[in-house]
Amino acid sequence: MAPCRAGHPVNVLRTLAVPQGEAAFEVLPAVAQILGGEHDAVLPVPAADARETARLSDALHPDQPIDDGVSLVVATSGTTGTPKGAMLGADALRASGDATHERLGGTGSWLLVLPPHHIAGMQVLLRSVLAGTQPVIVDVSAGFDPAALPGAVAAMSGPRRYTSLVPTQLVKALGDRAAVEALASLDAVLLGGAATPAPVLAQATEAGITVVRTYGMSETSGGCVYDGIPLSGAQIRIDDGRVLLGGPMLASGYRGLPDHPAFAEPGWFRTDDAGAVVDGVLRISGRLDEAISTGGLTVVPQVVEAALADHPAVRECAVIGVEDQRLGQRVVAVVVPEGEAPTLDELRTHAQRTLDVTAAPRELFVVDALPLRGPGKLDRAALVARFS
């Protein structure tokens, strides 16, 4: 547990080892201290993963001073291999939790089925403390098992009940009838961390699950835009196609990177996402740093993925760009099939119903599962390394 700052004139970053499963209840007093802002800042690390703890510690330097007002440092997933630490104050975390409960219709009990040292999982604990409710915690250290959902949901208290999932967990849960019924009994299932295929959302809605799509990141205390509409206090701005986010839930910057361009404009965070606000609703088209340059044209992978996702033989898919001597990069589809795998020609024809021929995949790989990083984000770099 992070020590109280009484008698400590300098704010110091301390690691907080967060266990999985019911042992995570041990950190709830520290979570309450984080929200109170009367402690040294803490860096959550996975208690059972010494290697990851060492990686985060090497990058974010615990046991050294940190800016006053910082209560929590959350490591980003580290797409470049070196994690950055978003510095969050108690005010930002409370603003995020209060706005979430306001949008959902009131405080309630929360079910944790995410790794608790990431922002989405930590937010379940923070919101529970804010609501004065006891969370129900499922151990996902060996992976997410949808069979655990019915018992966990049954153990939740009312009057309102919520959970947070990543898309891969929802895909698994939709294959388990009892898990679907359990999720459908909740007042809201927050879904974030990655883009969700439209067919998956449609299937969940048809099953009676109240899905709330969230958009945000560690730098915004987690999700700050729900179903395309910003939470109370959150702000959206589009700058030359790039999404900027602002509001009271914003981090003050990155640990040890005072001049990082993402926080160059006071009060705003420059994301790496391309998007637009249409009729007051934010629509994300993809990541600017993942765009594929093929034949002199730019292809956004997420746009192609959305086009392929409703093919009946596609359960999950990812689109990557791999080096090509003629095109610069060629568009490659990696598919987890639903039943018999589709052919490349089928996918190309399907994609060209809504996209230019340039965006249609030129190569297809079939896999059993897509690689993930962090709390459930697609590891696109791993696919590029594997199939280049």
pLDDT on residue 327: 86
Give the chain's mean pLDDT.
Answer: 92
**Res 181 pLDDT > 60:** yes
**Res 74 pLDDT > 90:** yes
Q: In the chain, helix, strand, coil percent, each to 5?
A: 30, 30, 40
pLDDT on residue 100: 98
The mean per-residue pLDDT over the stretch 317-330 comes to 91
pLDDT on residue 77: 65
CB 215 within 8 A of CB 282: yes
**Res 78 pLDDT > 80:** no
**Res 3 pLDDT > 50:** no
Name the pLDDT band for 137 (thresholds 50, 70, 90): very high
The mean per-residue pLDDT over the stretch 257-284 comes to 95
The gap from C-alpha 386 to its chain's centroid, in whole angstroms, comes to 24
pLDDT on residue 81: 60
The mean per-residue pLDDT over the stretch 84-100 comes to 97
**Res 213 pLDDT > 60:** yes
Domains detected in the chain: 14-284 (3.40.50.12780), 291-387 (3.30.300.30)
Residues 6+ apart with CB under 8 A from 287: 272, 273, 274, 300, 301, 302
Q: Hey, CA dihedral for 239, 244, 248, 254, is it positive or negative?
A: negative
pLDDT on residue 79: 47
CB 119 within 8 A of CB 218: yes
pLDDT on residue 374: 72
pLDDT on residue 2: 44
Cis peptide before 44 (omega within 30 of 0): no
The mean per-residue pLDDT over the stretch 120-139 comes to 96
User: C-alpha angle 33/87/55, rounded to 5°?
Assistant: 100
